[in-house]
Amino acid sequence: MNCNDMNSKMPDLVFESEMFDAAVKSDMESHLAECAECRQEFEGLRATMSLLDSWEAPEPNPYFLTRLNARLDEEHEAVPAGWPMSWYEKVRARLVYGSRMTLRPVAAMALTVVVLIGGGAYLGLSNLEQPAAPAPQAAVVHDLQTLDSNAQLLDQLETLSSQNDD
């Protein structure tokens, strides 16, 4: 095992993970026994991890949020430098510092109303009365109707020819 391989696997060895099989772990331990530079790096990494394990996060100041909100109120209510820039400063302060009232509930309600109106309009337009298609006739009925109309046509032609002969 060379030093580059050892450097890439050293954090896993420090955390004593079980991802290595016995052969790889013994190769790593033998490399640490032979290489003073890797052994020094490994010991430094182990010492850093033990120091981090003993470190405790400090307790936050209980008045932090109160002071932050007071400071934001001061900045929000500060008078701008001149009257022409007052509208600009008000808009900028509103965007930068925001307000305590969030618009999420209002936006959610507006979106709900839009969806309901749009869905109702879609349902109202898609259910319009469509003209009913004529029922398809059976082939036999159609043939009989054609023969009947032909017979009537022949009767009319005979009456016309008999009137012309007279």
Residues 166 and 162: their CA atoms lie apart, in Å, by 7
pLDDT at 9: 82
Q: Is residue 146 part of a domain?
A: no
Q: CB neighbours of 76 closer than 8 A, spacing ≥ 6?
A: 93, 97
pLDDT in tens, 84-109: 666 777 777 676 666 666 667 778 88
Q: Is residue 98 part of a domain?
A: yes
Q: Is residue 47 part of a domain?
A: yes
Q: How many domains does the chain have?
A: 2
pLDDT at 82: 61
Q: What is the DSSP letter of 57?
A: P
Question: Residue 33: enclosing H or E segment and its boundaries?
Answer: helix 22-34
End-to-end CA distance of the chain: 127
68 and 46 in a common domain? no
Q: Is residue 127 part of a domain?
A: no
Q: Is residue 147 part of a domain?
A: no
Q: Is residue 33 part of a domain?
A: yes
Per the structure, the complete domain to which residue 36 belongs is given by 3-54
